[in-house]
Amino acid sequence: MSRNLFSKASIHSVCCLGILVSASALALAASGKRVRLTPQYVPGATLRYQIESRNTTTGTTTTPIVNPEGGKQSSLVVHLLVRLDVLSAPSAAAPGAARLRATFEKSSAESQSDAFDPAQPSVSEQYARLRGQSAEFTVASSGQIVDVKGFEDAGTDRSVVQSALSWLASLSVAGGFPPDGVEIGRKWKAERPVEGAPLAGIVWRIESAYLRDEPCIPEAAASGAARPSSSPPESCAVILSRFEIPRGGSSRADSTPEDYRRNGLRVSGSWTGTGESLKYVSLSTGLLVRSTETSDQQMDYKISSAATGSSIERKAQVHSQSEIILVPASPSP
């Protein structure tokens, strides 16, 4: 089967809301209370983000071939240091679009499982191979990540590459900010698909609120120079988002994605979840300074072959936590 039945990318794309947030502080109203949340990219600028995530999975997978060593619990802890280089900024020819390059300066992981599979490659080794690799991508005016190029000769397991790229893809999930801007106290809603889910139509429904302004801790240092001690602390917009996957589904309902259907597979079952994130966005640069997120997902689905009738059933609960921090730039000598 060419596609992973339980993609790590789908977990990472949920647990995390991204390295960059579509947010800035261009005042719309004379009072200055309303801001339009759009990032400010400066060609030649370099940013570094520290990413820590933990995923714990409990569940069972039933296959036509009984595996007595099949595991019921696993955990994965990932540590990343990602450097973002701004290659080009929005222009008249490409309004709202910026080209960036992400380089994984550090990449490591610790995994534990009660399953035994000597044929399965070590996740820790796969994440270690990610170290030093780069990918370029475009941030469209809509906030979507498009035209991703990189990792062609990586030699890294594709599921690990997809998991790493999901951090970049998730930067469009900044709550789907209203185009007319937001102000403290305003709430808004958005939806985004659950990437890699084997059931069609699975989406996160997100409700966000602009809570308040607070000093950024740690401070963003996107300009490459540390803030003098006499300068006032940088201010951040605090954005709270709560999200859910509302679909209950039915064990008998056909929820087959089109690419599964083309390969002669049928999928039924349910996938639900809830989560919450808190983001601090610089009001002077529009960059994410820090964020934390937690989520819980429950899966119960079955993938069957239309030709043979054989099937794989997956029942699992996944708890995810993540933290993203903008690393302050070192002072100039």
- 8 Å CB contact between 48 and 60: no
pTM greater than the 0.85 cutoff: no
CA-closest candidate to residue 75, choices 50, 118, 111: 111
The pLDDT, as a whole number, for residue 126 is 86
- 8 Å CB contact between 25 and 35: yes
Count of residues making up the chain: 333
pLDDT, one tens digit per residue, over 267-280 is: 988 899 999 999 99
161 CB-near residues (< 8 Å, 6+ apart): 130, 151, 154
Instruction: List the domain boundaries for the chain.
Output: 8-326
230 CB-near residues (< 8 Å, 6+ apart): none
The pLDDT, as a whole number, for residue 23 is 40
CA-closest candidate to residue 183, choices 211, 163, 158: 211
Assess whether pLDDT exceeds 80 at residue 284. yes
Q: Taking residues 317-326, report their average pLDDT.
A: 94
pLDDT, one tens digit per residue, over 235-247 is: 999 999 999 998 6
Domain range 8-326, CATH class: mainly beta
Q: Residue 180, Cβ neighbours under 10 Å: how many? A: 8
pLDDT, one tens digit per residue, over 62-102 is: 876 655 555 688 899 999 999 999 999 877 666 668 899 99
Alpha-carbon gap, residue 316 to 302, rounded angstroms: 12
Can you tell me which residue has the tokens 């039945």?
A: 5
Do the bridges between strand 288-305 and strand 311-326 make them parallel or antiparallel, or are there none, so unpaired? Answer: antiparallel
